[in-house]
Amino acid sequence: MIDPIEFKIETETGPRLITISPVNLTLGNGILYATGEYKLDEGNVGIGTITFKNAKSWDYDGFGDISKSDLAAIADFIRERDFTGKKAAAQSQPKKEEEEARYNSPADPSSSVINFLVYRDGAPVDVHVQMHYPTYDISLSGKPTAQLQQDHHSNWYVATGHLEDKLVQEIGRRITKAVMGD
């Protein structure tokens, strides 16, 4: 989800219109990064933020008289749009053919992007990889962190930036898996 979208809730006192606005960051290389946070507004009044820990788990830091079941309906709506893509708006999602070409074309690795979660000290960390063969730009939780490369023995190493070796190897394994199509 890129643009704000309205969500209608039916309550005992009548319908309520909630605006859901995704919190996105533009990384240094121009890539739009979804943070997993969604601000909720009713009219001109902010009523809180839903933050997804992963595709199934979320928190709400808001206030006001919005019920848990209404919050769950909003979270399900967001999940369907951003995590499964079933109801994604045409303007914010590429056509299936374009998406397949972008992610599966071995002839154009420069346009490939992969996203996944890893665990660091028991906490989940979002990993965003922009593939520019032979280098791979790594962002952790929305922050550009390092650039990885592979040597002629297929060992992964940090070309610029800093990452601990265990994380380098996990990210390298995921990149290899994505490139190989496993």
Last residue of one domain, picked from the residues 92, 120, 146: 92
Condensed to tens digits (0 to 9), the pLDDT of residues 27-42 reads 666 666 778 889 999 9
- How far, in Å, CA of 21 to CA of 18, rounded? 10
Last residue of one domain, picked from the residues 25, 59, 92: 92
Of 86 and 122, the structure prediction assigns the larger pLDDT to: 122
- How far, in Å, CA of 126 to CA of 128, rounded? 7
Q: What is the mean pLDDT of the chain?
A: 78
- pLDDT value at position 108? 38
Answer whether 0.75 is exceeded by the pTM. no
88 and 14 within one domain: yes
- How far, in Å, CA of 49 to CA of 59, rounded? 8
140 and 65 within one domain: no
122 and 80 within one domain: no
| Domain coverage including residue 143 | 96-180
